[in-house]
Every structure is written in structure tokens, then in C-alpha cells.
Structure 1
Amino acid sequence: MINTISTQANKLINLTKRKQKINPSSTKLLTITSGKGGVGKSTFTANIASLLAKRGLKVAVIDADIGLANMQVLFDVKPTLTLFEYIDGKANLEEVFIQTKYPNITLIAGKSGYQYSKHSNSLVLARIVQDVIDIEIFDIVLIDTGAGLNDYVKEFLSISGNILALTTTDPSALTDVYALMKMLSKDKNSLMLSFNHTKNYKIGESITNSLQNLALKNRLNPNFMIEYIGNVSSSKNISTTGRLRKLFVNEFEDQLVTRELEFIVSSLLKKLNK
């Protein structure tokens, strides 16, 4: 009995250590999230993945929007096996890797309508991300979370040292971002912030400064920093290419939005390579 308890305790200790340091390898982990739904996060993530891949980096995209997956639409693939077949033990890890039509981009698809309650609070999501990192065949793993701050999103945020929040200038979206800041400031040092559907760089910069001042005023962790890494302007072509199951940055390489996304990617890489 004592040996059994000791073994179980060691497993829990090891799991806790693993959760706190999810990324000991050369593979970089970036979690892309948003407090509010509908800000364009998945489209943003897919296009960022494409620009990273064009720079010669091997990218894995994990569709972590539990129950409302749409990355397969953006990458125009029809997965037969998803992240959840791996969770349920019905497939091994390599079997759920989907090579997209874009060189250097692998998708680990989600599943719409999936009921995940039986795995709640099991830290299985953290272990899966670690499994993807441990094989060390990717340069960057991107996690595209669901909207809001439910338990699943919180688990993905807890295991990542690099978090990027995409938001808009909408007041409700900014309220949700501030809630995200309050939560992360308890045990994180920084949050990267990017603004979608924003006319110019300076608007996002000004709002970021206001959020930082609000955090100081409300006595959040004084060491917690918000790092503004760029804005993305509005473009009708983004939604058009999405409906056609194509990526904007590949179809409109010379447009302003693509250049803005390139700037964000450069800022991301500087942060990830520190």
C-alpha cells in the first residue's frame, strides 16, 4: 500500500513539474487566444502559420477550440482522425498529423460538437501538447484556443510561456482582454497583444498603453508586461479567401494586411528567440 501511494505521489509530482515547464526542447510553443469570440483568431492563426512556414520553419497547428473546430476549413482538409482520437486512445500521435497543402504546416485537427466532459480537469491537454513537443520535429507549435476563459482555455494558457491575445477595439473585447490580463498576471510575466480590424499601428499602441496603466492603477503584478506586437487592418478579401478555403497571405502577398501580418511574425520571432 505504501509503495502504491508513493508511486502515485511521484506521478503527481512529475506531472506538476511537467505542467510548469512544458517546453524544455528547442520547439517553441505559442498559444493564441482571445477573450471574446468573433475577433478573427482562427483566421489570424492560420495566416500566421503560413508566414512562419514561408520562412522555412516547420509549424504544427493544434486546433484547441473544444467542440467548435474550424481549422480544417481554413486549411481545406477533411480529417479522418483528430486530436480527440488520440485523446481517446484510438490513434497514435503521428496518425493525427495532417500534412496540409501548404509546405511545412501540419494540422492537428479538432472536432466540432465533441463532448469533452469525461476528460475535465485531467490535465490531458497539457500532456498532449508536451507529446507534440517531445518528438522535436517542429520548430513552432501554435495552439489556437477557443474563445473565453473556460477550463480548457485556462489549461492551455497555464502550460505556455508565450501567449498572444488577439482583440479588437470593441469595448466588450477590451473588457475580456483585461480579464485575461488579470488572470495571467498572477503567474505569468507577459502577454503579447495584437489588434485586428484596426486602422493603424498607433491606435493599438495607444490602447495597449492604456491597458498597462489600468493594470498598474489596479495593482496587478507590477512585473507583468503587455507587449504590443502589431495591428491588422480590415479587408473584405480576408473573409472572401476564408470562404474559398484559402489563406489571405498566399493570395494577396502585396496587400497592406499581409505586410502587417509579416511585421507581427517578425515581432513574434524576436520574442520567441529571446
Structure 2
Amino acid sequence: MISTQASKLIGLTNNVKTKSKTKLITITSGKGGVGKSTFTANIAYLLAQKGLKIAVLDADIGLANMQVLFDIKPKTTFFDYIDGRKSLDEIILKTEYPNVSLIAGKSGYEYSNHSNTFVYTRVAEDIIALNEFDILLVDTGAGLNDYVKEFLSISDNILALTTTDPSALTDVYSLMKMLSLGKSKLMLCFNHTRNYKIGETISNSLVKLAQKNRLNSDFMVEYIGNVSTSAQISTTGRLRKLFTKEFILDESTKQMQVIIDYLIKNIH
């Protein structure tokens, strides 16, 4: 269940969003190792190629790696803002990709002092309040710990990335159950999945399982696309480059373009 404190935060954030052009998309997975950060970084690049100004917040608390994907060695992270050492402007870092900025996380950060205080989501609120970006992408950590739940609680646009691995599907179903208590929909993408139809079939099976178990009937799961396995993805990752830039004609890049088109038309 979403706590009373989280509910109050949702209300505050909704007030901020009505005054800001910045749309918030939270990208999550349930299970680790499904390629979520790589997916997020490439989504950011493709959105920017459409002329949108994008900010990426690395909210994988304690295991941040977005700076590797963007080939940045950040001197500041969003923890410097939380701890009062830096201003918001100082933690928003330009990347080499036009119209893409990064708010870096920090690997190994000791975050126990901030437990259950919602300071992490305040960073997202404050970036939205700047009214500077068209879209803020939040890359959460794996699992459904309190920190991931905080970022999910403030977002109306939640995109879950999964694979066909049974344990990944179990985790994404757990995410569906949790979100159905307080959200209206979940966008679902399949990574390392050969074709669109496979993801669509599994998505339909998850929806039928939800109906059988009587999850909230008003909760929608929207399957929005798949990304095939490509040797180019791992190669460019090791080189700290984005495969959607380096391999424009690759099938995986074309599949991500389909996802981008959906997001542009349907997020709010």
C-alpha cells in the first residue's frame, strides 16, 4: 500500500506538475539485470533527437552506473544536493549528447541516514519545478524497496522493463499487484525479446492472471514494445557509447523508435 506520507507527496507533486511543462517518466524493472539503465540512456538520446530537452535522474540508490553509459566522471551527484552541499543547477550535468542532461547517482552511497524521509523524490519534484526540461526520466534501482516505491508513488507514467525470464516475469507481476492499488496503468516493455508478438502474448497472459486474481479492474497494463537482443548493444556499452546513435539502422534501434513514438503521444 502507498503510505499516507506518500499520498501527501503525490498531491504536492501533482500541484507542481500542473505548473510545469516537464513530464515525469519512471523506468523500473522489479528484477535486476534486465538492461534497464542501458534502455533508459538510449531512450533519452532518441527523445532528444526528436527535439525534446531531456533530464535523466540516476535513482539507482547505491548502485549508480548511468555516468558510465554517458561516459561522464561526475564531480557532483544528487546526494550533494540532498545533503545541502550543492545547488540544483550544480548537479545537473550536460552530456555529450545535445539536449540530454544527467543528474548522477553515486555507487556505494550510504543512504541509511535518509531512510523514509522522501528526500530522494524531492529532487525529482525540484527538477520538475524548474520547468526547464520537456521530460524527466527517472531510472530506479531493481526490486521494490522503499526507495523504488517512493519514485513510483510520485509518477503517473511508469514504464516497466522486463524479459521473458520466469523470475523477471514473477517480479513484474509483483510490481503490477502493488501498482494496481493506487495507479491507473503500467506501460510494459520486453528487452532481449526476439519479436513484438512474443512480448504481446506474455503481456496478455499477465493481464489474464491479474484478472483471475481479481486485481483492480480499473488498472491497465499497456504493452508498448520490445527490444531484440543485439551484439551491438553490449559492444557499444563497453565502449561507453549509445547503440542507438552508433547503429541507427539496427533492428533494436528501430524497435526503440516505436517505443519512443508511443511515449511522445501518450504520456501526460
Shared fold (TM-score, shorter chain, > 0.5): yes
1:68 aligns with 2:63: yes
Hey, what's the Cα distance between the residues in 1 that align with 2:255 and 2:57? 24
Q: 1:194 aligns with which of 144, 169, 189?
A: 189
1:42 aligns with 2:37: yes
Counting only pairs closer than 5 Å after superposition, residues 156-175 of structure 1 correspond to structure 2 as 156-175=151-170
Q: How far 1:272 sits from its partner (Å)?
A: 1.0
Counting only pairs closer than 5 Å after superposition, residues 21-100 of structure 1 correspond to structure 2 as 23-24=17-18, 25-100=20-95
Question: Which has more radius of gyration?
Answer: 1
Hey, what's the Cα distance between the residues in 2 that align with 1:158 and 1:15? 8
1:206 aligns with 2:201: yes
Hey, what's the Cα distance between the residues in 1 that align with 2:176 and 2:16? 21
Q: How far 1:174 sits from its partner (Å)?
A: 0.2
Aligned-residue RMSD, C-alpha: 1.6
Hey, what's the Cα distance between the residues in 1 that align with 2:205 and 2:62? 34
Q: 1:103 aligns with which of 80, 92, 98?
A: 98
Tell me which residue corresponds to 2:114: 119
Q: How far 1:21 sits from its partner (Å)?
A: 5.1
Q: How far 1:124 sits from its partner (Å)?
A: 1.1
CA spacing shift, 1:14–1:200, aligned 2, 3 Å: closer
Note the alpha carbon deviations across 1:154-191, whole angstroms, 9 max, x for none.
00000000000000000000000000000000000000
Counting only pairs closer than 5 Å after superposition, residues 146-185 of structure 1 correspond to structure 2 as 146-185=141-180
Identical-pair percentage:
66
Structure 1 spans left out of the alignment, 5+ residues: 1-10
Q: How far 1:22 sits from its partner (Å)?
A: 5.5
Aligned to 2:68, the other structure's residue is in SS state helix
CA spacing shift, 1:22–1:126, aligned 2, 3 Å: farther
- The amino acid that maps onto 1:17 is G
Tell me which residue corresponds to 1:265: 260
1:233 aligns with 2:234: no
Hey, what's the Cα distance between the residues in 1 that align with 2:160 and 2:183? 14
1:217 aligns with 2:230: no
CA spacing shift, 1:46–1:16, aligned 2, 3 Å: closer
CA spacing shift, 1:20–1:135, aligned 2, 3 Å: closer
Q: How far 1:110 sits from its partner (Å)?
A: 0.2
- The amino acid that maps onto 2:251 is L
Q: How far 1:126 sits from its partner (Å)?
A: 2.0
Structure 2 spans left out of the alignment, 5+ residues: none
Count residues in correspondence: 263
Tell me which residue corresponds to 2:131: 136
CA spacing shift, 1:229–1:123, aligned 2, 3 Å: same
**Is the Cα–Cα contact under 8 Å of residues 22 and 160 in structure 1 kept in the other structure?**
no
Regions of 4+ moved over 6 Å: 11-14
Q: Normalising by structure 2, what TM-score?
A: 0.95
Q: 1:17 aligns with which of 11, 30, 35?
A: 11
Q: Normalising by structure 1, what TM-score?
A: 0.93
Tell me which residue corresponds to 1:7: none
Hey, what's the Cα distance between the residues in 2 that align with 1:13 and 1:200? 38
- The amino acid that maps onto 2:23 is K
Note the alpha carbon deviations across 1:186-242, whole angstroms, 9 max, x for none.
000000000000010000000000000100100000000100000000011101100
